[in-house]
Amino acid sequence: MSRAVVATAYGGPDVLRIVDVDPGEPGPEQVLVEVRAAGINPADWKAYSGASGTDASRLPMRLGYEAAGTVLTAGPGVDGVAPGDDVLFQRSGAYAERLVVKAENVVRKPAALSWARAGGLLVVGSTAMHTVVATRVGSGDTVLVHGAAGGVGSMAVQLARVRGARVIGTASVANHEYLLDIGATPVAYGPGLADRVRALAPRGVDAAIDTVGTNEALDVSIALVKDRHRIATVAAFGRAPALRIQLLGHGPHADPGDDIRAAARPTLVDLVATGRIDVRIAGTYPLEQVARAHRVGLAGHVHGKLVLVR
């Protein structure tokens, strides 16, 4: 048996429980993984908050979307990974001690990559990679990233920098030192944002990436970027279609970018392992403290990823 986290009702972190589950045995082209770290993402608490409905048939609800661990056994037909290998993967229900995962979805973990950073890389990393690929960020570009101090935003900053772009990142003044540290030119959001960005980029802004979904982020992006196809949002599901900008993710009318995100996994692992980008860890918690970890995340102002570790 394996322990796993479930939401037993819709509500706040108090609905989270740890239960015993049978992880099953790996079938063809599957592996059984002993989980060592599972990343925490806003999508986790949004799933049980009731914001997207309260369908009772979904309860009890398994939580988590990314993890890292060690392969215990492999099913028939598995190639490229074997028992004893350390791996990263994306899979629903990742808050667990053991999971059966499709072998095609795992990526080998380099020894230099810590368990916490491995467990917290793939969701924000693949989402950020989708934004920079979709907006065609390249060498010499000036890119505006809204919410640059957040999980996806900070990863988008670093990936854009790897591609040779200059990045201007919006954040509260308290986060400006952090943005400087990851290679962005910080700018405070709020009234006058467009003029402040123009002052920092007199030659113009080539692309914009929105991770917050505010009207300010959208309006400023439209005002500064000539080609609307080089504006992407992962949050503004309401306004994006009417504005004719790219809507990325798994919401209504959005481009999920599954192929881009899957292809990004080995690249992301290599970039982190070689120190070209980083996964900032804001805190680690044992599985038993999952509710506490979610309360920290819900309170906001977290610099980096929260991760469940064993």
* Each residue's pLDDT tens digit, 30-71: 999 999 999 999 999 999 999 878 999 999 999 999 999 999
pLDDT at 304: 85
CA distance linking residue 155 with residue 280, whole number of Å: 10
Mean model confidence pLDDT for the chain: 96
pLDDT of residue 270: 96
Per-residue model confidence (pLDDT) at position 302:
81
**Cis peptide preceding 60, ω within 30 of 0:** yes
**CB of 293 closer than 8 Å to CB of 95:** no
Taking alpha carbons only, the member of 168, 196, 198 closest to residue 180 is: 168
CA 247 from centre of chain:
16
Q: For residue 98, how many C-alpha atoms fall within 13 Å in the half-sphere facing its CB?
A: 14
Please report the pLDDT score of residue 184 as a whole number.
98
Cα–Cα distance between 291 and 132 in angstroms, integer? 33
pLDDT at residue 300 in the model? 82
Quote the DSSP letter at residue 83.
T
Per-residue 3-state assignment (H helix, E strand, C coil) for 8-58: CCCCCHHHEEEEEECCCCCCCCEEEEEEEEEEECHHHHHHHHCCCCCCHHH
269: left (phi over 0), alpha (psi -120 to 50) or beta: alpha
Q: Which residues of the chain have pLDDT under 50?
A: none
Q: Is 119 left (phi over 0), alpha (psi -120 to 50) or beta?
A: alpha
Give the H/E segment covering residue 224.
Answer: helix 215-224
From the list 34, 36, 1, 31, the residue with the least C-alpha distance to 18 is: 1
Sign of CA dihedral 80, 306, 251, 143: negative
Written as six digits, the tokens of 295 are 């309360």
Alpha-carbon distances of 272 from 129, 177, 234, rounded to whole Å: 13, 21, 23
Distance CA 47, CA 44 (A): 5
pLDDT at site 217: 98
